[in-house]
Structure 1
Amino acid sequence: MIKTIIFDFGDVFLDLDKAATKRELERHAISDFSEEILQKNREYEMGLLSSEEFIGTYRSNYPQLTSEAFTKSWNAILLKFPEHRLSFLKELQKEGKYKLILLSNTNDIHIDWVKENIDFFEDFKNCFDAFYLSQEINLRKPEHSIYEFVLKQHGLKPEETLFIDDTPENTKAAAELNIHTWNIDPATEDVVDLFTIKKELF
């Protein structure tokens, strides 16, 4: 029986256009990303770089890029947060049947955008028993260590835990630790249909 539900944020609650940042950067004649840049992306998600250092890395590699242009391109991935998902989450919290945890790979620039553009972000955050952002805990999916951290922090049993994420690598890693998973397809599925789509777990 599931007692804890761990949710990803992007493309579970917040709609994303994952190709948008690459598309926007191509408008600035940026199409190839070195391993150094990709590593900096990962480090930034883990909170190992400040936003200023991160933006500076891109600007030093691509001098044609202004800080404003980069930030706009970086945030192009973020779309909207349909309010019916907040209603679903609030109902889950009200029922009190499950421990609710958010576990998201994200970064300060994206979270700043969310805080500025999603009026109900604090209401959303307050629905959870724990709210883990990768840059705050210096861990990121799909490393096993991030799931082990959450399990240990809350004394969770994997067989009583469901993890919902749209990225196959992330759900695969969780499943390797015997956590139940739903690799949600944002193009055809909605988290509000959880108890229909994954009814066998409940």
Structure 2
Amino acid sequence: MIKTIIFDFGDVFINLDKVGALENALLNFKLDSIPEDLTHINSLYEMGLMDTSEFVEFYESSFPDVQSDKILEIWNSILKDFPHHRLEFLKALSESKKYKLILLSNTNDLHIEFVKSYVPFFNEFQSYFDVFYLSHEINLRKPNPDIYEYVLKQNNLVAAETLFVDDLTENTTAAEKLGIHTWNIDPAKEDVTTLFETKKELFS
């Protein structure tokens, strides 16, 4: 049934510290919660509708007491380790040639450049995918329906023959509305390497 597997990046392959990063931002920016204008700016940056210099300048002007290097440190603090066994899983999956493999990630230039600087096998990781979509490069982001429609159309995919793996419920719910099979993975309890055991009904 499944011919194509679409994977998210964060909390699927690379571990994230979403709670810690939020607490770090609130503490350093002296906020009780993230205001709507920051959320909007972050979304624009993820969609590549704002370049890095504009993004950093916005934070510098909004928080003049926080130095630019500290802003970058706060922004990248969400990124954690990339367990090597997940790379090995992806490598074996790629070499099996059984499925088309696509990465679909909401990310941004600062995060990707940071990951490249400390994950020595990032290029190898990327090479195992047939297509590698980063939100800031295609000007689309999850969970907006147009990003899933774009991937389906660009790759001539049949939704019913496609599985999407993502840790955020809003992202998998949006994909399901288009008829795509999903695995809403729980990074606290599950690991992507158990894909074929967890979703065995789709691969039998």
**TM-score class, shorter:** over 0.9
Matches of 1:128 and 1:55, distance apart in 2: 31
Match of 2:175 in 1: 174
Match of 2:104 in 1: 103
Deviation at 1:29, TM superposition (A): 4.2
Match of 1:134 in 2: 135
The one-character-per-residue Cα deviations of 1:38-63 (angstroms, maximum 9, x if unpaired) are: 11000000001111111111111111
Matches of 1:29 and 1:120, distance apart in 2: 33
Deviation at 1:20, TM superposition (A): 2.4
1:46 partner letter = M
Deviation at 1:37, TM superposition (A): 1.4
SS in 1 for 2:133: strand
1:38-77 alignment to 2 at 5 Å? 38-77=39-78
* 8 Å Cα contact 2:167/2:186 also seen in 1: yes
2:29 pairs with 1:19: no
* 8 Å Cα contact 1:28/1:64 also seen in 2: no
The one-character-per-residue Cα deviations of 1:5-55 (angstroms, maximum 9, x if unpaired) are: 000000000000002222222332432432221110000000011111111
Match of 2:34 in 1: 33
SS in 2 for 1:101: strand
SS in 1 for 2:179: coil
* 8 Å Cα contact 1:37/1:57 also seen in 2: no
SS in 1 for 2:28: coil
SS in 1 for 2:182: strand
Aligned length: 202
Matches of 1:151 and 1:81, distance apart in 2: 28
SS in 2 for 1:185: coil
Matches of 2:57 and 2:38, distance apart in 1: 11
1:30 partner letter = K
Matches of 1:44 and 1:8, distance apart in 2: 18
1:19 partner letter = V
SS in 2 for 1:27: helix
Matches of 1:87 and 1:50, distance apart in 2: 34
Matches of 2:194 and 2:104, distance apart in 1: 20
Gaps of 5+ in 1: none
RMSD: 0.9
Runs of 4+ in 1 over 6 A off after TM superposition: none
